[in-house]
Amino acid sequence: FIDASPSPFHVCRTAADRLRAAGFTELSESDPWPVAGDHFAVRAGSLIAWRSGDQEVGGRSLPFRIVGAHTDSPNLRVKQNPDR
């Protein structure tokens, strides 16, 4: 992931590729979005992904979860060998 993602735009592309490989469907912002399913949308260097539908964890129904992250300012630059 690190080698394929040297910038925020690359992170978005790499994440989208992984989501597709995991069965997520890419949706356009301008189209109606289905309620159920595993989907994502991309705009420039931004990506949102969600998995909807009833999921059960520890006997509790979880209709959705929200996780957030950003790779913009300050720009995320992860080095495999930071001491070099």
Tens-place pLDDT, residues 2-59: 777 777 778 888 999 999 999 999 999 999 988 788 999 998 778 899 887 766 777 7
> What's the farthest any 2 CA atoms get from each other in the chain?
48
Cα separation, 2 vs 48, whole angstroms: 20
pTM of the model: 0.69
- Rg of the chain over CA atoms, in angstroms? 15
- Residues 6 or more apart whose Cβ sits within 8 Å of residue 27: 33, 39, 40, 41
